[in-house]
Structure 1
Amino acid sequence: MTASASVKKTANDNHGNEYLVFTLGNEEYGIEILKVQEIRGCERVTRLANTPEFITGVTNLRGVIVPIVDLRIKFDLAGVEINEKTVVIVLSLANRVVGIVVDGVSDVLSLNTEEIKPAPDFSVTLSTDYLLGLGSVDERMIILVDIEKLLTSEEMELVEKSVNETL
């Protein structure tokens, strides 16, 4: 699918789609608000053996074991630390619940088709399959992410396998 096809898929009408905007380092990212279950403060997690570094562990959320993915580590950002603005966004994706650690949440934006531009294609050097496009509002540039493509099924299956082996 081309980048412009993804934009049409995400912004198929002029009424707009709503995105939760969060920060990672100095950049703003947006994910579809309908995938967001809740936003929580950063809590202690249980680390699992044999999982990628960006999977910081799991937590028990009202009886559901939720894997926690630190997007700052996944995106290879330097100086990753937890502070009072760091939050976990709990997402409902397909048949699983996942938490993502981000530097902060700023707002919810409604973007229409004209405000979403295709993501640049970096071809071989960088995978951009998870980019839906770039939202442009006033002086802001929001990187719109397909969170389900970013958190690949293979990664989540690895977490589930680790959780099942631990239990």
Structure 2
Amino acid sequence: MTKEQRNEKVIVFQLKNEEYGAPVDAVGSIERMVEVTRVPGTPQFVKGVINLRGVVTPIIDLRERFGIEPAEYDDSTRIIIVSLEDKEVGMIVDTANDVIDVSADAIEPPPEVIGSVDVDYIRGVAKLDNRLLILLNIEKVLSEEEITEISQVEG
């Protein structure tokens, strides 16, 4: 095998009983759950905004975005801050476990249906030993209109 395998670093997080991965280069930070200020007139999955180091950051609940029943936030709940079209957005997840390398040959195209998560949000599925990791297409989690709508909330 002289061909170099391209590895991709992903942050592993959980929603319900599923493990998801987001590319490390799209993630700015992982924060503990803090109080979120609700903003009227936003979609249900938009929980509101937080002040993150002086920057007003919109927060979405990925469970609700993906149609998974909501859960109580607890000590392991995290907010993953990602960059979407020059905007920072926080995604609430059940836990953020670790950072792993996924080799390109372990990634398969997404199946037609993955639970209740819309296939548009999925970039692929990685089979790692006894784990199945659903790789998110971060850019598709929010549409351009939703990003614009959420951005207006900030300013």
Task: Name the TM-score, length of structure 1 as normaliser.
Answer: 0.84
SS of structure 2 residue aligned to 1:149: helix
Match of 2:105 among 105, 108, 114: 114
RMSD between aligned residues: 1.7
| AA at the equivalent of 1:35 | A
Match of 2:121 among 124, 127, 130: 130
Identity %: 38
Check conservation: 1:91, 1:97, Cα contact below 8 A. Answer: yes
Q: Hey, what's the Cα distance between the residues in 2 that align with 1:148 and 1:88?
A: 17
The residue aligned with 2:65 is 74
Question: Is 1:25 matched with 2:16?
Answer: yes
What stretches of structure 2 of length at least 5 have no aligned partner?
A: none
Q: Hey, what's the Cα distance between the residues in 2 that align with 1:147 and 1:110?
A: 18
Question: Is 1:144 matched with 2:128?
Answer: no
SS of structure 2 residue aligned to 1:45: coil
Q: Hey, what's the Cα distance between the residues in 2 that align with 1:65 and 1:44?
A: 13
| AA at the equivalent of 1:57 | G
Q: Hey, what's the Cα distance between the residues in 1 that align with 2:118 and 2:129?
A: 28
Q: Hey, what's the Cα distance between the residues in 1 that align with 2:20 and 2:118?
A: 17
> What is the deviation of 1:121?
2.8
CA shift in 2, pair 1:49/1:79, >3 Å = closer
> What is the deviation of 1:113?
1.9
Question: Is 1:86 matched with 2:77?
Answer: yes
> What is the deviation of 1:129?
2.1
SS of structure 1 residue aligned to 2:120: coil
Instruction: Count matched residues.
Output: 150
Q: Hey, what's the Cα distance between the residues in 1 that align with 2:142 and 2:149?
A: 11
The residue aligned with 1:159 is 150
Deviations 1:74-120 (CA, angstroms, capped at 9, x unpaired): 12222411011001011122210010000001111211122111111
| AA at the equivalent of 2:110 | A
Q: Hey, what's the Cα distance between the residues in 1 that align with 2:70 and 2:56?
A: 28
Q: Hey, what's the Cα distance between the residues in 2 that align with 1:26 and 1:121?
A: 19
Task: Name the TM-score, length of structure 2 as normaliser.
Answer: 0.90
SS of structure 1 residue aligned to 2:139: helix
Structure 1 or 2: more strand by fraction: 2
